[in-house]
Amino acid sequence: MNVKNSYKITVNQKFEWFLKPEIIRELDIVRQADGSWHILHQNLSYNLKVLHIDRQNKTIKLELNGESFHVQIADPLQQLIEEMGLSSRPHHQSGEVLAPMPGLVLNILVKEGETIEKDQPLLILEAMKMENIIKAEGQGSVARIAVEKGQAVNKGELLLFIE
């Protein structure tokens, strides 16, 4: 469900709700000298420490009033992409790296025969004016590159074969 102009917040992969921009504007937020944040909302006080930010996956590990949380944030565009079924991660069978969505190959970051590590960027795919970095799901070597820079691909099309 996409609530227009709201951010979908998922906490610990269990709880989710939609945060409207007007709620964010109502918060009284003050950065503390130690880098943490003090937040006042509806006469309640919260102490927030950001422990780690993963901008690529849009996740944050934080501590709120002493309790740790893993938070994933989806902006309205990301929610629309999910609703359209374009956000599924690539499936890997027999070493195949498939396009997770239709797009344009902007850059190929590996060469055939190259040894790769888990999470290593393999190529950049542009979709809906956003650059998406396709990463290796595990270790291996690039056996075959099935696309070229500048090539348009469909969802599920073979990009690379990893051995």
Whether 1 maps to a domain, the answer reads no
CATH number for position 100: 2.40.50.100
Q: Which of 35, 58, 77 is the last residue of a domain?
A: 77
Q: Which of 77, 95, 122 is the last residue of a domain?
A: 77
Give yes or no: residues 69 and 115 share one domain. no
Whether 29 maps to a domain, the answer reads yes
pLDDT in tens, 89-125: 444 434 888 888 899 999 999 999 999 988 889 999 9
pLDDT category at 160 given cuts 50, 70, 90 is very high
| Burial environment of residue 126 by CB neighbours within 10 A (0 to 12, 13 to 18, 19 or more) | middle
Give yes or no: residues 70 and 132 share one domain. no
**Structural domain count of the chain:** 2
Give yes or no: residues 49 and 93 share one domain. no
pLDDT above 50: residue 145: yes
Whether 26 maps to a domain, the answer reads yes
CA-CA distances (angstroms) from residue 109 to 35, 104, 115, 124, 127? Answer: 36, 14, 12, 8, 17
Whether 107 maps to a domain, the answer reads yes
Q: How many residues does the chain have?
A: 163
Global pTM? 0.49
Note down the domain range covering 46: 7-77
Q: Which strand (E) or helix (H) includes residue 52? A: strand 44-54
Give yes or no: residues 91 and 152 share one domain. yes
